[in-house]
Amino acid sequence: MEKIKLLIVDDEEEFAATLAERLELRGFISKGVSCGNNALEALASNFSPDVVLLDLKMPDMNGFEVLIEIKEKYPSIEVIMLTGHGAATGGKDSKERGAFDFIMKPVDIIELTDKIKSAYQKKESNPGKH
Amino acid sequence: MTDNNENILRDCQLASLGKMLAGYSHELKNHLAIINESAGLMGDLLEMGIIDDEQAIQRFKKIISVIEERINQANTMAKHMNSFAHKMDIPDSNFDVNQLLNEELAFLDRFFWIKNVSVQKKLQSELPAVCNNPSLLQFVIFTYIHKIVAGIESGGEIALSSQMQGQNILISIDAPNLSALTIDQDSCSPDAAAIKYALNKMGIAIMEETLADGRHKTTLTIPTR
């Protein structure tokens, strides 16, 4: 099976870097960026991820704005939202805006990897999308 | 003082509390998420047997330092929350104005960061203790600055200072062209009404002035006895 490529977007750089390293150890190809604009730049470059892990609260563009732009420009990429909020409302709103799913911080790595694999399967089952 | 005013004050104070705790708990979760990932990574490396050389040991030391740093930050935040909670216990008590202002800035830090607002702080050292209602004063200052931050242009600057003058302590908030009391363009704003009512209840005078450079300065005069 081809390695799943991930883009992790979180303004807490240590979080993004550490999570990327943990996912690399589990066989994923991961790249971390610290804001929405950097994420869109990464997507416009040669790095084309299968799944984006996207923080909801960020200072430049919030997660919803980035999510909407990703789904408009790259509809085949699946997005999993990361939220630090106790309530699940942010996650529910994300799904209504096109996110595959959401996960609460602190992250359960097994739950996260399961969701990434499910998101990748969904992407692969929709080959018509570009 | 009417029952209606008391209700407005109570509602605004609770709303302010909610905002403080929402921003703060979010930050705490961020720190905990990083602790969680760092600890998880250590576990991963141990489980995968990747600790048999000096390079790996150095990597572990780095990870541990991240964990320690974040735990310290979480502890400081928890200390502020605890101090805040205790101010609610006793309405009137002796307190240190500068400590209250420093806590206030910690509570507001995330709001400053989101709007890229810089804060200049100039607190006179060794101010005498004040006997008043610290919880109510904290509410007033938080609500006032929070409203300014909400209305300020991204990248703006706020200056906060304290100083002794006669038998009073003066707290000054200097912001670009903004008064929290009129920011809503609505003289019936519940926040503005609550601030005025709370200041009156504490015997604290408020003076607002426009400086020569167009910035807005608000000064609170707190009697020390």
Of all residues in chain B, the one with the smallest CA distance to A10 is B30
- DSSP tag of B142: H
Residue window 62-101, chain A: list those with CB within 8 Å of chain B. 84-86
Give yes or no for residue A113 having a pLDDT over 80. yes
Q: List Cβ neighbours of A20 (8 Å cut-off, separation of 6 or more).
A: A6, A8, A30, A31, A32
Find chain B residues with C-beta within 8 A of A87's C-beta: none
| Ranges of H-type helices in chain A | 13-25, 36-44, 63-73, 89-96, 109-124
| Residue A129 forms part of a structural domain | no
Q: Is A110 on the interface with B (CB under 8 A)?
A: no
Domain that holds residue A60: 5-124
Domain ranges of chain B: 3-87, 94-223
pLDDT of res. A1:
63
Distance (Å) of CA B211 to CA A57, B4, B152, B182? 36, 35, 17, 17
Domains B3-87 and B94-223 fall in the same CATH topology: no
Q: How far is B34 from chain A (nearest CA, A)?
A: 5
Which CATH number belongs to the domain containing residue A63 in this structure?
3.40.50.2300
The 10s digit of each residue's pLDDT in B94-148 is: 999 999 999 999 999 989 988 889 999 999 999 999 999 998 999 899 988 988 8
Spacing of C-alpha B219 from chain mean position: 18
pTM given for the model: 0.65
Q: Does the distance separating the beta carbons of A21 and B26 come in below 8 Å? A: no
Please answer whether residues A82 and A73 qualify as being in contact, where contact means their C-beta atoms are separated by less than 8 angstroms: no
The total of structural domains in chain A comes to 1
Average pLDDT over residues B63-69: 84
Which of A8, A10, A14, A62 should one mutate to test binding to chain B, selecting the residue with the greatest count of B CBs within 10 A?
A14
Find chain B residues with C-beta within 8 A of A14's C-beta: 34, 38, 66
- The interface pTM score, or ipTM, of the predicted complex is 0.80
CA distance A79 to B11: 39
User: What's the fold here for domain B94-223?
Assistant: Heat Shock Protein 90 (3.30.565)
The 10s digit of each residue's pLDDT in B165-223 is: 999 999 999 988 666 555 554 445 677 888 888 999 999 999 988 888 888 889 999 99
State how beta strands B93-95 and A101-104 pair.
unpaired
Which of B24, B26, B30 should one mutate to test binding to chain A, selecting the residue with the greatest count of A CBs within 10 A?
B30
| Residue A130 forms part of a structural domain | no
Token pair for A72: 């408009």
User: What's the fold here for domain B3-87?
Assistant: Helix Hairpins (1.10.287)
Mean pLDDT over each residue of chain A, to the nearest integer: 88
Number of CB atoms found within 10 A of residue A121's CB: 12
